[in-house]
Amino acid sequence: MTFSGLRGRTLLAVFGVSAVVLLLAAVLIALPMRAQLLGAIERNLVAEARLAAALLQERQTDGSVPALDGEADEVGGLTSARVTFIAPDGRVVGDSAEDLTALGRLDNHGTRPEVLAARRSGLGVERRFSATVGTDLLYVALAVEHPHVEVVRLALPLTEVDAQFRAVRRSVLAALAAALACALGLAWLSSTLLARRVAAIAAVARRYAAGDFSAPARDPGRDELGMVAYVLDDTARELGRRMTELTQDRARMEAILAGMLEGVVVVNAQGHVILANDAARRMASPDGVTPGQHYIEVLRHPDIGAMLGRALSGQTPDGIEFSPPRDPNRTLVARAAPVATESAPGAVLVLHDITDLRHADRMRRDFVANVSHELRTPLTAIQGYVEALQDDEPPEPGEAARFLEIIARQANRMERLVRDLLRLARLETGQEPVEPSQTDVESVFTDVLTELEGALEAKGQRVVTDVGPAARTLRVDTAKLHDALRNLVENAIAYAPPSTTITLASRRAGGAFVITVGDEGPGIPEADLSRIFERFYRVDKARSRESGGTGLGLSIVKHLVEILGGDVKAENRRAGGALFTVTLPVG
């Protein structure tokens, strides 16, 4: 235990005060004690002297020295002191402590201070050291009315007084020592209890600081220290409640921000990032966003910087559309607004990725333009030939038949186009429900080839089918699989040269059902492989039109396969020709 701690200091203070009080009390008791004792003895001796004087006066002796000495011995026997009779000339004429023979050798007592005082005022009291006895003596001299004795003197050695005083002092010192020991014990007890309570309160406070707000196990009591503990408890519990609320609010806010597609960046008045969600990190900076960074380091775009600057100065700038320097293919819209809280002013930036929106928009516009174009071409042709037929000078009958044949072909083409467009629209809007059934793949192949028999024969093409042993049946929407395969075989017939072989195969691979359609045609240029599934995308427009294609076939195939839960890809065979692979899930 050190005296710098609360316990040591309390112990020191309580014991120090007790010790000072006890010492003071001891001194105050011991000091006047000797004087009081002496006073009492003195009063006693004076009374005894008066008694001795009275006895002397009462018994009228013959006045001889032996008689007076005998009287002195008798009176001395009655008192506790030595009795001396002094004649008017100062001679000692009787003494209880000396025998008769020694009286003559005694000094003349007439000049002794107490005797002189007795002669003067009737009573003389004197205390002095006696060389004869070797101790302090108390003398009381009393003037008497006696024919032979002028003064009666009583002498009492003060050794007794000192002995009594020493005894009292010993008792006082013993009591003082005992009291000091008790004071030390009490001081230790009270300081220990106090220190223990303060330590308990400190431990609870430390627990609160570490975030554990459970109620303390012990009752802290009702005194001032207990009140401190109660107030601490209440404050800590209130703090804990608010912290829980804050944590929940924060978690809720973080969940909302994390789930947002929009990027959110909050900056403080100095322009340092204090919050950024994942979307903002993805959109704004390849190196991520660290709280504390300046927004200029994060959003390396001058327009965004300027906009945030305006928002920080309290304005609400218009949103801007921009492409991040690191990813120019993306289009973002940024909006900034000031955050108007007095305690933490700043600005919030919201980033919205509209790349897909813009892409969809462009696709829609392209699509409308494409449809218009695709329809206008046959319409213009029909219109021209109809006008020619209606001409004032009608064409030759053979010519007219050719015109009508062209009109019919163009009308057919328009009909096919409209039919494909409607199918695509139905597939895209989910209007074609999937109806799976146990399907025999070989019979689907046979149906497709039977339907396209005429076209195959016209081009002198041959079809080889290869159905793997584990790939005979599949649970799938038969009609949709049939339509997809028919489209692919139609393309193979259209784009591969006459007298070539088309391969139609099925197999199981990696837990999936794989159907391939291969041909020996020119294949598809590598650059176009990823785009041929887009609507109206054709590698060679003239060739496609010539073959009667609408440019929507592969787009329909892709939609059909995706509805069936699979996917389709195009590649070129090493031996030449295109290879389309349809992968479908099993079961």
User: Taking CA 399 as the corner, what is the angle to CA 396 and CA 403, rounded to the nearest 5 degrees?
Assistant: 130
Measured from the CB atom, the residue of 197 and 538 that comes closer to ligand ADP is 538
Site membership for ligand ADP, residue 197 (CB under 6 A): no
Site membership for ligand ADP, residue 532 (CB under 6 A): yes
User: Which of the stretches 131-139, 293-301, 476-484, 548-556 binds ligand ADP when contact is defined by CB under 6 A?
Assistant: 548-556
Structure tokens at 137: 């003596």
Dist. CA 34–CA 468, nearest whole Å: 133
Measured from the CB atom, the residue of 15 and 495 that comes closer to ligand ADP is 495
- The least distance separating ligand ADP from the CB of residue 504, rounded to whole angstroms, comes to 13
Measured from the CB atom, the residue of 352 and 573 that comes closer to ligand ADP is 573
Task: Pick out residues in 381-400 that bind ligand ADP (CB under 6 A).
Answer: none
- The least distance separating ligand ADP from the CB of residue 255, rounded to whole angstroms, comes to 44
Q: Are 353 and 281 in contact (CB under 8 A)?
A: no
Place of tokens 């787009």: 555
User: Taking CA 436 as the corner, what is the angle to CA 434 and CA 437, rounded to the nearest 5 degrees?
Assistant: 155
Assign 442 to helix, strand or coil: helix
Assign 81 to helix, strand or coil: coil
User: Which of the stretches 1-9, 29-37, 157-165, 531-539 binds ligand ADP when contact is defined by CB under 6 A?
Assistant: 531-539
- The least distance separating ligand ADP from the CB of residue 496, rounded to whole angstroms, comes to 6
Measured from the CB atom, the residue of 112 and 558 that comes closer to ligand ADP is 558
Dist. CA 207–CA 200, nearest whole Å: 11
- The least distance separating ligand ADP from the CB of residue 381, rounded to whole angstroms, comes to 18
Among 76, 263, 378, 551, binds ligand ADP (CB under 6 A): 551
Sign of CA dihedral 382, 385, 391, 394: negative
Task: Pick out residues in 314-343 that bind ligand ADP (CB under 6 A).
Answer: none
The residues that bridge with 95 in the sheet, in sequence order, are 84
Measured from the CB atom, the residue of 338 and 551 that comes closer to ligand ADP is 551
Task: Pick out residues in 474-503 that bind ligand ADP (CB under 6 A).
Answer: 491-492, 495
Among 112, 301, 538, 559, binds ligand ADP (CB under 6 A): 538
User: Which of the stretches 160-168, 239-247, 463-471, 550-558 binds ligand ADP when contact is defined by CB under 6 A?
Assistant: 550-558
Measured from the CB atom, the residue of 72 and 414 that comes closer to ligand ADP is 414
Q: In what order do the strands lie in the sheet with 346-353?
A: 273-276, 263-268, 346-353, 332-339, 320-322
Place of tokens 């002397």: 56
Dist. CA 191–CA 12, nearest whole Å: 9
Amino acid at 76: G
Among 229, 336, 554, 561, binds ligand ADP (CB under 6 A): 554
User: Which of the stretches 120-128, 184-192, 350-358, 538-546 binds ligand ADP when contact is defined by CB under 6 A?
Assistant: 538-546
Residue nearest to ligand ADP (CB): 549
User: Which of the stretches 67-75, 158-166, 296-304, 553-561 binds ligand ADP when contact is defined by CB under 6 A?
Assistant: 553-561
**DSSP letter (8 states) at residue 294:** B
In angstroms, what CA-CA distances link 337 with 206, 264, 284, 308, 352?
Answer: 42, 11, 17, 8, 14
Measured from the CB atom, the residue of 76 and 553 that comes closer to ligand ADP is 553
**Beta carbons within 10 angstroms of residue 11's beta carbon:** 23
Q: What is the CA radius of gyration of the chain?
A: 66
Dist. CA 319–CA 337, nearest whole Å: 10
Q: Are 425 and 556 in contact (CB under 8 A)?
A: no
**DSSP letter (8 states) at residue 102:** H
Residues 111-150 as x/- pattern, contact with ligand ADP by CB under 6 A: ----------------------------------------
- The least distance separating ligand ADP from the CB of residue 523, rounded to whole angstroms, comes to 6
Assign 131 to helix, strand or coil: coil
Measured from the CB atom, the residue of 225 and 529 that comes closer to ligand ADP is 529
Structure tokens at 561: 């396969």
Structure tokens at 146: 């006696």
User: Which of the stretches 25-33, 340-348, 396-404, 536-544 binds ligand ADP when contact is defined by CB under 6 A?
Assistant: 536-544
Among 41, 103, 152, 578, binds ligand ADP (CB under 6 A): 578
Assign 335 to helix, strand or coil: strand
Measured from the CB atom, the residue of 76 and 521 that comes closer to ligand ADP is 521
Site membership for ligand ADP, residue 544 (CB under 6 A): yes
Per rule CB under 6 A, count of chain residues that contact ligand ADP:
22
Among 201, 550, 566, 568, binds ligand ADP (CB under 6 A): 550
User: Which of the stretches 30-38, 398-406, 457-465, 552-560 binds ligand ADP when contact is defined by CB under 6 A?
Assistant: 552-560
Structure tokens at 142: 């009393």
- 143's CB contacts (< 8 A; 6+ apart) are 118, 119, 122, 123, 150, 151
Structure tokens at 249: 């609010």
> Smallest Cα–Cα separation from 283: which of 325, 311, 320?
325
Site membership for ligand ADP, residue 79 (CB under 6 A): no
Distance of CA 126 to the CA centre of its chain: 89
Site membership for ligand ADP, residue 521 (CB under 6 A): yes
Among 195, 312, 524, 564, binds ligand ADP (CB under 6 A): 524
User: Which of the stretches 86-94, 325-333, 348-356, 542-550 binds ligand ADP when contact is defined by CB under 6 A?
Assistant: 542-550
**Beta carbons within 10 angstroms of residue 414's beta carbon:** 18
Interaction site with ligand ADP (CB under 6 A) = 491-492, 495, 519, 521-524, 532, 537-540, 544, 549-555, 578
